[in-house]
Structure 1
Amino acid sequence: MNENSTDQFFKSNVLGHPSGLFVLFFTEMWERFSYYGMRALLVLFLTASLFDEGWGWPREHAMALFGSYVGLVYLSTMMGGYFADKVIGFRWAVLVGALLMTLGHASMAVETEWSIYLGLGLLVIGNGFFKPNMTSIISEMYKDRPEKKDGAYTIFYMGVNAGAFIGIILCGYLGEQIGWSLGFGLAGVFMLFGLIQFWLAQNIFGNIGLKPKKNDANSIESLDKDKRVPFTSWQLGLILLMVTLGLLWIINAPATTISEGRVNIFSFLGDNGNNMAILTALGLFLVLLIYRFTQYSKITREKLIAVSFFALLSVVFWAIFEQSPGTLTIFANDYTDRSLDGSSATIFRIVNSCMVIIPLAIITWVLYLLFKQTFGKYKWANIVLSLSFIIVWGIAIWMLINQFKDDNLEIPASWFASLNSLYIITLAPLFSKWWESKYNPSANMKYGIGMLLLGLGMACVAFGAMGIEPGAKTASVSIIWLILVYLFHTMGELCISPVGLSYVSKLVPARMIAFMFGVWYLAIAIGMKGAGVFGENVDKVANENGISYFFWILTIVSLVAAFFSIVMTPIIKKLMHGVR
Structure 2
Amino acid sequence: MSSMLENFKQPKPFYMIFFVEMWERFGFYGMQALLAVYFVKSLGMSDTESFSVMGAFMALVYGFVSIGGYIGDRVLGTKRTMVLGAITLAIGYFLLAASAHFSHLVFTALGTICIGNGLFKANPSSLLSKCYKEGDPKLDGAFTMYYMAVNIGSFFATAFVPVVSSHFGWSVAYILSGVGLVVALINYMLCRHWVAHVGSEAGMKKLNFNKLLVVIIGSVIGVFVSSFLLRNLGVAHWVLGVIVTAVVLYYFYETARENTGYQTKMIVAFILMLIAIVFFVLYMQMPTSLNFFAINNVEHSIFGIPINPISFQALNPFWIVVASPILAYFYSHFGTKGKDLAMPFKFAIGMFLCAFGFLVLPLGAKFANVHGIVSSSWIILCYLFQSVGELMISGLGLAMVAQLVPQRLMGLVMGVWFLVSAVASMIAGHVAGLTAAPKGVTGAIQTLPVYSHVFLQIGVVTFVIAVITLIAAPMLTRYINADVTATKKETILPA
Using structure 1 for the length normalisation, give the TM-score.
0.72
Whether the 8 Å contact between 1:64 and 1:253 is mirrored in structure 2 is no
C-alpha change, 1:210 and 1:536, in structure 2 (3 Å) is: same
1:422 aligns with 2:318: yes
Cα separation, 1, equivalents of 2:12 and 2:203: 24
Instruction: Give 1:325 shift.
Output: 0.6
Match of 1:177 among 145, 167, 174: 167
Matched AA of 1:433? Y
Q: How does 1:16-95 map to 2 (within 5 A)?
A: 16-48=9-41, 54-95=42-83
Matched AA of 1:413? P
Q: Which residue of 1 aligns with 2:441?
A: none
Residue segments in structure 1 that go unaligned for 5+ positions in a row:
1-12, 49-53, 215-246, 258-263, 266-273, 349-408
Three-state SS of the structure 2 residue aligned to 1:527 is helix
Match of 1:526 among 411, 423, 430: 423
Whether the 8 Å contact between 1:466 and 1:548 is mirrored in structure 2 is no
Residues 260-315 of structure 1: per-residue CA shift (max 9 Å, x gap): xxxx55xxxxxxxx877655654454443333321111622111111111111000
Q: How does 1:125-164 map to 2 (within 5 A)?
A: 125-144=115-134, 146-164=136-154
Matched AA of 1:574? R
Whether the 8 Å contact between 1:43 and 1:325 is mirrored in structure 2 is yes
- Percent sequence identity is 28
Instruction: Give 1:253 shift.
Output: 7.3
Aligned length: 448
Q: How does 1:320-469 map to 2 (within 5 A)?
A: 320-338=282-300, 345=304, 348=305, 409=306, 411-438=307-334, 439-466=339-366
Cα separation, 2, equivalents of 1:513 and 1:113: 41
Using structure 2 for the length normalisation, give the TM-score.
0.84
C-alpha change, 1:171 and 1:441, in structure 2 (3 Å) is: same
Instruction: Give 1:197 shift.
Output: 1.4
Three-state SS of the structure 2 residue aligned to 1:493 is helix
C-alpha change, 1:26 and 1:445, in structure 2 (3 Å) is: same
Matched AA of 2:372? A
Matched AA of 1:255? R
Residues 237-264 of structure 1: per-residue CA shift (max 9 Å, x gap): xxxxxxxxxx99997776356xxxxxx5
Match of 2:281 among 319, 336, 351: 319
Cα separation, 1, equivalents of 2:399 and 2:232: 38
1:255 aligns with 2:159: no
Q: Which residue of 1 aligns with 2:91?
A: 103
Cα separation, 2, equivalents of 1:515 and 1:315: 17
Three-state SS of the structure 1 residue aligned to 2:121 is helix
Q: Which residue of 2 aligns with 1:268?
A: none
Matched AA of 1:116? V
Match of 2:389 among 485, 492, 495: 492
1:510 aligns with 2:414: no
Q: Which residue of 1 aligns with 2:218?
A: none
1:501 aligns with 2:398: yes
Whether the 8 Å contact between 1:165 and 1:422 is mirrored in structure 2 is yes
What value does the CA root-mean-square deviation take over the aligned residues?
2.8
Match of 1:557 among 461, 466, 470: 461
Matched AA of 1:515? L
Q: Which residue of 2 aligns with 1:124?
A: 114
In the TM superposition, structure 1's runs of 4+ consecutive aligned residues that sit over 4 Å from their partners are 247-254, 274-285, 466-469, 540-545
C-alpha change, 1:310 and 1:276, in structure 2 (3 Å) is: same
C-alpha change, 1:172 and 1:540, in structure 2 (3 Å) is: closer
Whether the 8 Å contact between 1:334 and 1:475 is mirrored in structure 2 is no
Instruction: Give 1:529 shift.
Output: 2.0
Instruction: Give 1:36 shift.
Output: 0.5
Matched AA of 2:410? I
Residues 166-210 of structure 1: per-residue CA shift (max 9 Å, x gap): 111121111123211111110101211101211231110132126
Cα separation, 1, equivalents of 2:120 and 2:404: 26
Matched AA of 1:42? L
Cα separation, 2, equivalents of 1:58 and 1:210: 45
Matched AA of 1:571? M
Greater CA deviation, 22-31 or 192-201? 192-201
Residue segments in structure 2 that go unaligned for 5+ positions in a row:
1-5, 205-222, 439-445, 486-495
Cα separation, 2, equivalents of 1:413 and 1:127: 26
Q: Which residue of 1 aligns with 2:211?
A: none
C-alpha change, 1:325 and 1:430, in structure 2 (3 Å) is: same
Matched AA of 1:446? K
Three-state SS of the structure 2 residue aligned to 1:558 is helix
Cα separation, 2, equivalents of 1:426 and 1:321: 18
Cα separation, 2, equivalents of 1:103 and 1:14: 39
Instruction: Give 1:113 shift.
Output: 2.1
Matched AA of 1:173? V
Whether the 8 Å contact between 1:97 and 1:130 is mirrored in structure 2 is yes
Whether the 8 Å contact between 1:72 and 1:525 is mirrored in structure 2 is yes
Whether the 8 Å contact between 1:84 and 1:133 is mirrored in structure 2 is yes
Greater CA deviation, 446-455 or 558-567? 558-567
Matched AA of 2:460? I
Matched AA of 2:12? S
Whether the 8 Å contact between 1:249 and 1:278 is mirrored in structure 2 is no
Matched AA of 2:420? A
Whether the 8 Å contact between 2:111 and 2:226 is mirrored in structure 1 is no
C-alpha change, 1:481 and 1:543, in structure 2 (3 Å) is: closer
Cα separation, 1, equivalents of 2:184 and 2:447: 44
